[in-house]
Amino acid sequence: MDLIIKNGTIINANETIRADVAVKDGKIASIAENISITDCENVIDARGMLVLPGAIDAHTHLAMPFGGTISSDDYFAGTRAAACGGTTTVFDFVLQDFGETMVDAVKRRDALCAPVAAVDYSYHVAVKDVSGELLDSIAECVDFGVPSFKVFMVYDFGVTDGVFFQVLQKAKECGALIEVHAENNELVNMLTEKYLSEGKTSAWYHYMSRPEFVEGEADERAIQWAKASGAPLYIVHLANKQGVEAVTKAKDEGYPIYAETCPQYLEFTSEVYKREDGRNFVCSPPMKGEASRQALWAAVKRGDIDTIATDHCPFQSSEKDWGKDDFSKIPNGCAGIENMYPYMLSAANEGKISFTKAVELCSANPAKIFGCKDKGSISVGKDADIVIYDPSVDFTITNDKMHSDCDHTIWEGITVHGYPIQTYSRGKLVYDNGEFVGEKGWGKFVKCSLK
pLDDT digits (tens, 9 = 90+) for 243-275: 999 999 999 999 999 999 999 999 999 999 999
* Strand-strand pairing, 415-425 and 386-396: antiparallel
Q: Is 421 exposed, middle or buried (0-12, 13-18, 19+ CB in 10 A)?
A: middle
Taken in order of first residue, the domains within the chain and their CATH numbers are 55-370 (3.20.20.140)
pLDDT in tens, 172-196: 999 999 999 999 999 999 999 999 9
pLDDT per position as a tens digit, 26-80? 999 999 999 999 889 899 999 999 999 999 999 999 998 887 899 999 999 999 9
Report the pLDDT value the prediction gives residue 134, as an integer from 0 to 100.
Answer: 95
Nearest to 141 by CA among 160, 158, 123: 123
User: Rounded to an integer, what distance in angstroms lies between the CA atom of residue 365 and that of residue 370?
Assistant: 8
pLDDT at 320: 96
pLDDT at 167 over 80: yes
**Type of residue at 82:** A
Quick one: pLDDT at residue 428? 98
Confidence of residue 155 (pLDDT cuts 50, 70, 90): confident
Q: Judge whether residue 354 has pLDDT over 90.
A: yes
State residue 197's pLDDT score: 98
Q: How far is CA 313 from CA 62, 256, 409, in A?
A: 6, 28, 11
What does DSSP say about strands 177-181 and 233-235: parallel, antiparallel, or unpaired? parallel
Per-residue model confidence as pLDDT tens digits over 397-441: 999 999 999 999 999 999 999 999 999 999 999 999 999 999 999
Residue 229 scores a pLDDT above 90: yes
Strand 87-95 relative to strand 69-70, pairing:
unpaired
Give the number of other Cβ atoms within 10 Å of residue 338's Cβ.
30
The answer to whether residue 206 scores a pLDDT higher than 80 is yes
Nearest to 409 by CA among 65, 73, 56: 73
The C-alpha angle with vertex 366 and arms to 280 and 76, in degrees rounded to 5, equals: 50
DSSP track, 315-369: --HHHHGGGTT-GGGSPP-B--TTTHHHHHHHHHHTTSS-HHHHHIIIIIHHHHH
Q: Is the pLDDT of residue 288 over 80?
A: yes
Q: Does 97 score more than 80 pLDDT?
A: yes
The alpha carbon torsion through 181, 162, 123, 234 (nearest 10 deg) reads 50
pLDDT at residue 209 in the model: 97
Q: Please determine, for residue 158, whether its predicted confidence score (pLDDT) is greater than 90.
A: no
Please enumerate in sequence order all residues whose Cβ is within 8 A of that of 450, keeping only pairs 6 or more positions apart, or say none: 142, 147, 148, 175, 176, 177, 370, 371
| Helices 102-113, 137-144: inter-axial angle, 10-degree rounding | 40
Residue 369's identity, in one-letter code, is I
- State whether the Cα torsion 395-433-337-206 is positive or negative: positive
Q: Between 10 and 158, whose confidence is greater?
A: 10
The average pLDDT across 341-348 equals 98
% of the chain beyond a pLDDT of 70: 100
Q: pLDDT-based confidence at 7, cuts 50/70/90?
A: very high
pLDDT for position 252: 97
Positive or negative CA dihedral for 21, 27, 30, 35? negative
The residue among 79, 8, 52 whose CA lies nearest residue 344 is 52
- pLDDT computed for residue 343 by the predictor: 98
- Residue 344: CB atoms within 10 A of its CB come to 25
Rounded to the nearest 10 degrees, the angle between the axes of helix 137-144 and helix 161-174 is 50
Confirm if 446 and 429 have CB atoms less than 8 A apart.
Answer: no
The pLDDT, as a whole number, for residue 65 is: 86
% of the chain beyond a pLDDT of 90: 95
What does the pLDDT read at residue 67?
Answer: 75
Of 155 and 86, the one with more pLDDT: 86
Residue type at 322?
A: W
**Average of per-residue pLDDT values in the chain:** 96
What DSSP element (H or E) covers 93? strand 87-95
Q: Is the pLDDT of residue 122 over 80?
A: yes
